[in-house]
Amino acid sequence: MHTEHVQAGPYRITVGFSEWPLRAMQSLDFTFVPEGGIAGKSGSLSIDAPNMDEDQAKSMLVRHPRKRDVWGLDVRALPAPGKADFTFEVTGSKGTGKGTLRAVTVLEQPGPPMALSWTVCALPVIGMLSYLVVGWRRNKPSERVAELIA
């Protein structure tokens, strides 16, 4: 796990990434750990990244599903390569603080291009449909049913 540190007012936050370097369209876990733990604190996260959906760009910081003592995002992917900023706003006993982890580089998507991946995945389906159409035309089931009825 790779970690970075952000100062959000009086709170020092350790940001963890399950894979490093970050790659577009690759699902990974993010963890956010304020110094002193998350007890008695609340926070929000804004992600400013290329092609980021507004619904995913802003969220409240909630407990990570598997690491219950930290905040986090489970299997989240950044949509496009470029630079991403993670802005935190934390409220706790020391007041409210805001800080940004700036210019995190997001590399190209791993593996082949998306269009090529979809094409390769669609080939078996196209083959199966072609097989069924040819079989249907050769057997002409509608004519056989008509013969049986007549």
pLDDT in tens, 10-59: 999 999 999 999 999 888 899 999 999 999 999 999 999 999 988 889 99
Contact in structure between 109 and 79 (CB atoms under 8 Å): no
Other CB atoms within a 10 A radius of the CB of residue 69 amount to 11
- For the CA atoms of 25, 29, 33, 39, the dihedral, rounded to the nearest 10 degrees, stands at 120
pLDDT of 143 > 80? The answer is: no
pTM score over 0.75: no
Closest CA to 62 of 51, 52, 76: 76
Query: What pLDDT, in 10s, does the model give residues 49-67?
Result: 999 988 889 999 999 998 8
pLDDT tens-digit map of 103-123: 999 999 888 888 898 899 999
